[in-house]
Amino acid sequence: MSPSQTVVVGTGPVTEDDVVAVARHGASVVLATSAREAIGRARAVVDDLAAGPTPAYGVSTGFGALATRHIAPELRDRLQRSLVRSHAAGSGPEVEREVVRALMLLRLSTLATGRTGVRPATAQLLADLLAHGITPVVHEHGSLGCSGDLAPLAHCALALIGEGPVRDASGALTDASTALAAAGLAPVELGPKEGLALINGTDGMLGMLVLALHDLRRLLRTADVAAAMSVEGLLGTDRVFAAELQALRPHPGQAASAANLVRLLAGSGVVASHRGPDCNRVQDAYSLRCAPQVHGAARDTVDHAALVAGRELASAIDNPVVVEDRVESNGNFHGAPVGYVLDFLAVVAADVASMSERRTDRFLDQARNHGLPPFLADDPGVDSGLMIAQYTQAAIVSELKRLAVPASVDSIPSSAMQEDHVSMGWSAARKLRTAVDGLTRVVAVEVLTAARGLELRAPLTPSPATGAVLRLLREAGVQGPGPDRHLAPEIETVVQLVADGAVVGAVEAVIGELQ
């Protein structure tokens, strides 16, 4: 989706495609008329409560451990401003623009349900910020993943009242007041409950989960391509991927991955060269033979995480929430459901990368690569070939294993023990983003290595699918076998080809869509 296209919020749950379009591709956002009407109805309930004598949390009381104080009417606007200002307490590096835009979109989605009690004008301004490409500066640290992603969301809410740093559509750093004025927008004066409604959600961790799911689906297809290239280049067999064998263990992800491998290896002259009775090899190593089992389990885990994300995208996360003619406290802001699957996916990234690195290492070991030169070097001893590319893989895999340690099992009590169990879902999401980047790089090194290994099998010919990847790399400037050269630029080129889907695209142009 291009910036000229628009996502309508408030006609139903936003989708993964909506999040990616707005967060990554700058799609504009509009608030549906029906959403504005629902927001208005909920606001009337809040206004009635604010005018009444009975204390209501978030409307006429303090927050967290200070909820026992009743706030006089003349102090309630200040209460909401103070909440946003005090909670915008993040620290550390600036969070990526795509994460902040995803967070803003998902907060708007909850506002559009008519369960939060904000005014229509407040929700509209949030939509306007997205439409004009104004992105508040949010910091790495500040969320415990409970009571929502408080500090990150507070930094976004701060921009709505014309305060704090933002980046404009060009990426330039400016202040919110200046950016709003340049876009023809005016800041809002927050009324009762509005500050709380703007900061009390799981939107940051959910946005990062949705973006990671989008990336991991592509990466797992790419991992199948890399595995096929390695099986082929290491003279492995494709017979173990047969559908009849996979059906004996009917995991859907395993079946899909194995089917991909069968199609990717179809027509390979390399595989055909050792298929006859003269072949004396009984079984391939696990990293070759068990690729569908590992990649498939990863796919099934992604599917489970997507199920959780879908439920969360259909949720209204706030506390308290407007229900009929009243406001009710609840615990739906707790990030446990999202935090758990974020941690599951970090395990997936580490394990798929670990298997990829093992296949790469086999190519470089003369004792296991079945006739290829050591380290795929042109003149071994004078040349080191791809020796240190595998070191880079190994360093990343080691980091991924550390990142696979779950964040969601940790909890640090906060707010004077009122908030005594937190999810750490934001932390789980941040480390998953690092893990997805690491997996991209590890798979890219395997593709680079397997491509060289396949070329060294000449005159044997690769399959049409893997041959398309070889052509893609050469057209992108990645050279074939030969004397040592500066390798880092070639690795980065392949990283980009993996990250933007070009590797999968080259294959699918030849054999059709992969599963």
DSSP H helices, 234-335, are: 243-246, 252-265, 269-273, 286-289, 291-313
Contact 97, 135 (CB under 8 A): yes
Q: What is the pLDDT of residue 3?
A: 56
Contact 179, 137 (CB under 8 A): no
- 10's tokens: 């408030």
Q: The whole model's pTM is what?
A: 0.95
CATH 1.10.275.10, the chain: domain bounds: 6-201
- Whose tokens are 């990649």? That residue is 295
CA dihedral 329, 344, 224, 391 (to 10 degrees): 130
**Please, which pLDDT band fits residue 279 given cuts at 50, 70 and 90?**
low
**Please, which pLDDT band fits residue 4 given cuts at 50, 70 and 90?**
low
- 474's tokens: 């050469």
Tell me, yes or no, if 57 is annotated catalytic: yes
Average pLDDT over residues 289-308: 98
Q: What are the tens digits of pLDDT across the range 473-500?
A: 999 999 999 999 999 999 999 999 999 9
Q: What is the pLDDT of residue 1?
A: 43
513, burial (CB in 10 Å: exposed 0-12, middle 13-18, buried 19+): exposed
User: Which residues are 380's β-sheet partners?
Assistant: 383
User: Is the pLDDT score of 273 beyond 60?
Assistant: yes
Contacts of the segment 239-244: beta carbons below 8 A, 24+ positions apart: 240/284, 240/289, 241/265, 241/292
**Please, which pLDDT band fits residue 147 given cuts at 50, 70 and 90?**
confident
d(CA 376, CA 496): 23
Choose the catalytic residue: 57, 286, 340, 391: 57
Question: What angle separates helix 464-475 from helix 425-455, to the nearest 10 degrees?
Answer: 100
User: What CATH architecture applies to the domain 6-201?
Assistant: Orthogonal Bundle (1.10)
> Which residues touch 333 (CB under 8 Å, ≥6 apart)?
146, 147, 148, 200, 201, 202, 317, 318, 319
Percent of the chain with pLDDT over 90: 84
Q: What is the DSSP string of 404-459?
A: TS-STT----BTTTTB-----HHHHHHHHHHHHHHHHHHHHHHHHHHHHHHHTTTT
User: Is the pLDDT score of 150 beyond 90?
Assistant: yes
CATH 1.20.200.10, the chain: domain bounds: 208-511
Q: What is the pLDDT of residue 65?
A: 67
Under CATH, what is the fold of the domain 208-511? Fumarase C; Chain A, domain 2 (1.20.200)
Q: What are the tens digits of pLDDT across the range 226-243?
A: 999 999 999 999 999 999
> Which residues touch 435 (CB under 8 Å, ≥6 apart)?
345, 346, 349, 350, 400, 403, 404
**Please, which pLDDT band fits residue 77 given cuts at 50, 70 and 90?**
confident
d(CA 363, CA 54): 73
Chain length of the chain:
515
Q: What are the tens digits of pLDDT across the range 373-414?
A: 999 999 999 999 999 999 999 999 999 999 999 999 988 888
Q: What is the pLDDT of residue 58?
A: 73
Contact 359, 443 (CB under 8 A): no
Contact 187, 134 (CB under 8 A): no
d(CA 457, CA 484): 19
Q: What are the tens digits of pLDDT across the range 306-333?
A: 999 999 999 999 989 999 888 898 988 8
> Which residues touch 259 (CB under 8 Å, ≥6 apart)?
241, 243, 246, 515
CA dihedral 443, 444, 448, 453 (to 10 degrees): 10
- 175's tokens: 């202040």
Average pLDDT over residues 277-292: 84
